Structures are given as C-alpha cells and as structure tokens.
Amino acid sequence: MNNLWVPIILIILAPLLGGLVYGFERIIKARMQRRIGPPLLQPFYDFLKLADKRKMIVHSAHAFLGIMHFVSLWFALAVLLLGGDLILVIFLHLLSTALLILAAYSTRSIFSHLGANRTAISILAYEPVLIIIAVSIFMLTGSFDAAAAFQSEQPLLYKMPLAFIALLLVLPIKLKKSPFDVAEAHQELTGGVELEFSGIFYEAVYTAKWIDYVFCYALVYLFAGNNILLGTGLIVCTFFYLNALDNSTARVSYKQMLRFSLTVSFSLAFINLLLNSLT
C-alpha cells in the first residue's frame, strides 16, 4: 500500500512537476544562448496570466476537445505510473493527440489545419517505435503491464539498449523540439493546432505540455527497473540531451523527420526486438 502512494502523489503533482521542468528548461536554454532568461516559476506566472485573458470560443466542440486533450493525457500518465497496460497507455496517449488534431480541423484556420497535418505526421513517426518498445518489454517480462518493468530486478536498459536509443531519438518529435519541431514550426504555422485557443481553454493545452514532460520521462524511467539511482541518472541525462539537441540543431522538414524515424529509430527498436526473441 505504501508503494502505491508514490505514483498517486506523482500523478496529482504531475502538472506542478512538469511546469517546474519546463521552467528549468527555459533557464537552460537562456544560458546556452547567453541570456539571463525567465525565473523558474515563469510558466506558472504565464498560467495565472492566461486565466485573466478574455475567453474567446470558436465553438463549444473546439473548446471541449482542447479540455479533453488535457484530461486524456493526464489519464494516460496515471495508467502508466500506476503500472497499467502499456498498450492501453499508448492508445490513451494517441487519443489525447487525436483530440487536439480534431480540434484544429474543426476550425477554419489554414494554420490550424497545417498544424494538425504536421502533428498527425509526427504520430506516424513516434507511435510505431513506442509500440515496438512495449512488445519488447512484454517479451522480456512476460507482461504488458508497466509495473513489470518498474519492478524488474535487472534494468531493461541492459537488454534493450537499442530500444532505449530509439526512444531517445523519437522523444524530440514527441516533445516538439529541434530538429523535429515540425508541428510547432512557429515561422510557418504561427501557432499550429493551438492557434484558435485562448484564455482558460488555452491553459488546458498549455498545461498538457507539462504533463507530456512527466509522461516522457516516465517512459525513460521504465528502462531502469527498480533501480532508483539509475532511473534518476537516465532522466537527468535525457533532460540535458534534449535541451542540448534542441538548442544546437536546425529544424528539418516533416519528410526528413518521418524518413529518419522509420529508417533509424524504428529499425533500432525492431532489431532489439529480434535480438530479444533469439535469446
């Protein structure tokens, strides 16, 4: 019972933890660009500022889909941290993104439609890799439950190094960071899928990004098993890797992103799957 309190607390505090990660990320980015940068709590200041903005709704379905995007993503994180079925986790994660895509398509803005197209292509780039990783975990643990990975005595990293590398390669796509930030190419899309949201409804989409940080780092922690020290090290190294990559590379086209993911990331994960099947 005591072990259950840890994931429950993490689930409840996920928006707070994600906001702190985002705030620290902005500080790191500023330092790399030789700027002072915003304070650590700036994301929360922005959150409070958005609450005072005038609420403008394109239509009720658009606002509802934005809120459900936040709710379904938080629910996907809850299932993951509570050790639920990884296939269900991936489905719920996909559902949350699909809801945001539908919200963008429901408007008349061409930029929202372009952002929806780019986001849908991003799904094709990272979701197959996540599925292969889930199947690999099943082959090693005999279960699709995330709890089997979290409680594993031997870290999965030792038997799934290629799959872990594949995850690292697709995380920038999921978190919309360079060189794969095609879904939020601000110079081209001026907001993309988020363009028509405002006020408290934009807060739902804005805060969902924070939960996405916690979700992605929880996937990284899966590879550490029950080794807390290794899991912490993997999360810290992944954080600095993502930020170093984001601030040192230029954006590629969506075609290059998809080609890279399906030829490199997917291949690495699939090779790891084949090696596990032979042992």
- What digits encode the pLDDT tens for the residues 32-43? 888 888 999 999
Q: 204: which residues sit within 8 A by CB, 6+ positions away? A: 66, 67, 69, 70, 197
The number of beta carbons lying within 10 Å of the beta carbon of residue 202 is 20
pLDDT bin (cut points 50, 70, 90) of residue 1 is very low
Residue 2 above 60 pLDDT? no
Mean of the pLDDT values across residues 60-71? 93
Domain boundaries, the chain: 2-278
For 91-100, what is the mean pLDDT? 95
The tens digit of pLDDT for each residue in 226-269 reads: 999 999 999 999 999 999 999 888 888 889 999 999 999 999 99
- What average pLDDT does this structure show over 114-141? 94
Confidence of residue 199 (pLDDT cuts 50, 70, 90): confident
Give the pLDDT band (50/70/90) at residue 190. Answer: low
At 123, list the tokens.
């799904």
Task: Please tell me the predicted confidence (pLDDT) of residue 16.
Answer: 95
CA–CA dist 16, 23 (Å, integer):
10
Q: How many angstroms separate the Cα of 78 from the Cα of each of 3, 6, 75, 99?
A: 15, 12, 5, 18
pLDDT band at 128 (very low <50, low <70, confident <90, very high): very high
At 89, the pLDDT band (50, 70, 90 cuts) reads very high
Query: What are the two backbone dihedrals, phi and then psi, of residue 85, each rounded to the nearest 5 degrees?
Result: -65, 125
Integer angstrom CA distances of residue 13 from 8, 153, 175, 211: 9, 27, 20, 10
pLDDT band at 188 (very low <50, low <70, confident <90, very high): low
Confidence of residue 209 (pLDDT cuts 50, 70, 90): very high
Given a contact cutoff of 8 angstroms between Cβ atoms, the answer to whether 179 and 242 are in contact is: no
* Distance separating alpha carbons of residues 273 and 264, to the nearest angstrom: 14
What pLDDT is stored for residue 189 in this prediction? 56
Maximum distance among all alpha carbons in the chain? 60
**Single pTM value for the model:** 0.93
197 Ramachandran zone, left/alpha/beta (phi>0; psi -120 to 50): beta
Mean pLDDT of 157-166: 96
Rounded to an integer, the average pLDDT of 124-142 is: 94
The residue with tokens 């990293």 is 157
Q: In terms of DSSP H, where are the helices of the chain?
A: 2-12, 14-32, 42-51, 60-81, 86-105, 110-141, 146-150, 161-174, 186-189, 199-222, 228-246, 254-260, 266-278
Cis peptide bond prior to 179, omega within 30° of 0: yes
- Phi, psi for 86 (deg, rounded to 5): -65, -35
pLDDT at residue 160, rounded to an integer: 95
Residue found under tokens 């993104």: 97
